[in-house]
Amino acid sequence: MSDDLLRFAPIALPIAGAVLGMLLEALLRKPKVAMWLTVASLAGSIVSVFGGATGLAGYGSELYTLDAAGGILTAGASAFALLALFLSVNYLKPQDDEFPGEIPILLALVPAGIGIIAGARHAMMIFLGIELLSVPLYALVALRRANAAAVEGAVKYFLLGAFAAGFITFGMSLLFASEHSLDLDALRAAAGRSPVAAAGTALFLAGLLFKLSAAPFHFWTPDAYEGAATPVTALMASTTKIGAVAGLLKITPLLPASAWPALAAIALLSIAAGNFGALLQDRVKRILAYSSVAHAGTILLALAAGLSAADPALAADLHSAASRASVYYLIAYGASAFGAFGIIAILERGGDRFRTIGDFRGLSRRQPAAAWLLTFFLLSLGGIPPTGGFWAKYFVFATAVQAGQLWIAVAGIILSVVGVAYYLRIVATCFMASEDAELGAPPQGKVPLPALLATLAAGVGVLVLGFAPAELLGLIGR
């Protein structure tokens, strides 16, 4: 019995935390309780993943079993949700006169959804996981419902999300119609046999690519990121991709191996759309949003490579390489993106001053620590060596080269150099503004401690990944 409890712990704990939190919130009217409860449940989820919740068989294991990579993804999502909670603790207080108790509940449900997707061995589980992941996020984006931008962002995110849900369900129905089963292992075995199944997978894929914010489906990302409050954006930047990639890792094998060029095309399109979109941007959150589109493209590059081998033996190798690369990328990119948004959240402290690049001018003189930390995160996003971002990019392109797609790798990596240009622009504004240029508005009030801790935690994560990639690689590999 204890095995089953342990097996479900990574997703059960956050859900339990949310429900209990809601009850206590209703009864005791003290938001602090819900917050600490969520913290405990998320921490419990992380601990349970490393405590051996992965790879166990048991009740309902044909529907839900966490493997090593899935475990890392769930733990990552829970960690990022935890950090987002810390980030938003007193971010919103000045705005909405009392801290809405529901935020911890919503924050707890997001990693639960991702855990479900990560462990899913059944298509419906993936769909439900996506829904459980998305609904709280819609609410979180629209948190400051008095702010027109937030509501607009949430509406766009929701409507396109519902549209994607329509595609996913119809895709699943086609899969069921042709294979009469939604069990992923059965479907993988039948991959490529019937066109209807392939079309169904493609539709399912479209929904997931929306969640990943890949190229043609990415237009919601800048608006949602800009509309939402910065801690929520930090959460979205780091976790939505984990959920999407967890789903993609399970759905792409259903596609016939010969379909990899489609994925590769979307990957390159995303990198280009993301990088070129951000090049002339003036508002920092939109820049980071477009950069997340580019990073989505990079991950897709690895997944496309993972798909491309015809004979089964090489296919298995490539798929494991692709999943290793993409999981590493998610954790490294997630930490860097979270860190960058964390810095912006600390600087904003609830206000809306640090919106455009102009506000960052001469930051290195006013807030040197913030400037250097932001630079570190941006370098990691750009994939410059001493940071985790470098190894992430390295492993992705390693998978592409292993799959023999040299020219696609070269194209992808040249486009990513364009990406570095706009990170440098932000860094240049912070450090290299001319002496006499008047500086952006100074942030008022002192630095909120929990937010600082969260951002520093992300920084340490990126640094450790930068200098010692072996640890995480080992964890994923096992």
Among positions 178-237, residues that touch another protein (CB under 8 A) are 178, 180-182, 192, 194-196, 198-199, 201-203, 205-206, 209-210, 215-217, 219-220, 222-223, 226-227
33 binds another protein (CB under 8 A): no
The contacts of residue 366 (CB under 8 Å, 6+ apart) are 439, 442
| From 45-53, 240-248, 277-285, 331-339, span contacting another protein (CB under 8 A) | 277-285
Instruction: Work out which of 163, 447, 463, 464 binds another protein, going by CB under 8 A.
Output: 163
The contacts of residue 226 (CB under 8 Å, 6+ apart) are 149, 153, 233, 283, 285, 286, 289
Instruction: Work out which of 13, 68, 89, 139 binds another protein, going by CB under 8 A.
Output: 139
Tokens of residue 129, six digits: 């996981």
| From 39-47, 76-84, 166-174, 446-454, span contacting another protein (CB under 8 A) | 166-174
Instruction: Work out which of 4, 55, 170, 366 binds another protein, going by CB under 8 A.
Output: 170
d(CA 174, CA 204): 10
Select from 233, 292, 232 the least CA-distant residue to 423: 292
398 binds another protein (CB under 8 A): yes
Tokens of residue 470, six digits: 């072996």
| From 40-48, 234-242, 261-269, 452-460, span contacting another protein (CB under 8 A) | 261-269
- Give the residue carrying structure tokens 């937010």: 451
Q: How far is the CB of 461 from another protein (least distance, A)?
A: 17
1 binds another protein (CB under 8 A): no
Instruction: Work out which of 73, 92, 156, 250 binds another protein, going by CB under 8 A.
Output: 156
- Of the two residues 69 and 409, which places its CB atom closer to another protein in the complex? 409
- Of the two residues 201 and 455, which places its CB atom closer to another protein in the complex? 201
Q: How far is the CB of 35 from another protein (least distance, A)?
A: 15
413 binds another protein (CB under 8 A): yes
Contact of 342 with 378, CB cutoff 8 Å:
no
146 binds another protein (CB under 8 A): yes
Instruction: Work out which of 111, 129, 342, 388 binds another protein, going by CB under 8 A.
Output: 129
111 binds another protein (CB under 8 A): no
121 binds another protein (CB under 8 A): no
Q: How far is the CB of 62 from another protein (least distance, A)?
A: 10
Q: How far is the CB of 448 from another protein (least distance, A)?
A: 19
444 binds another protein (CB under 8 A): no
Q: How far is the CB of 156 from another protein (least distance, A)?
A: 5
Tokens of residue 38, six digits: 């969520």
Instruction: Work out which of 147, 188, 366, 450 binds another protein, going by CB under 8 A.
Output: 147
Q: How far is the CB of 213 from another protein (least distance, A)?
A: 11
424 binds another protein (CB under 8 A): yes
Q: How far is the CB of 101 from another protein (least distance, A)?
A: 10
Instruction: Work out which of 22, 47, 447, 475 binds another protein, going by CB under 8 A.
Output: 22
177 binds another protein (CB under 8 A): yes
Instruction: Work out which of 48, 78, 367, 402 binds another protein, going by CB under 8 A.
Output: 402
142 binds another protein (CB under 8 A): yes
Neighbours of 470 (CB within 10 A): 10
255 binds another protein (CB under 8 A): yes
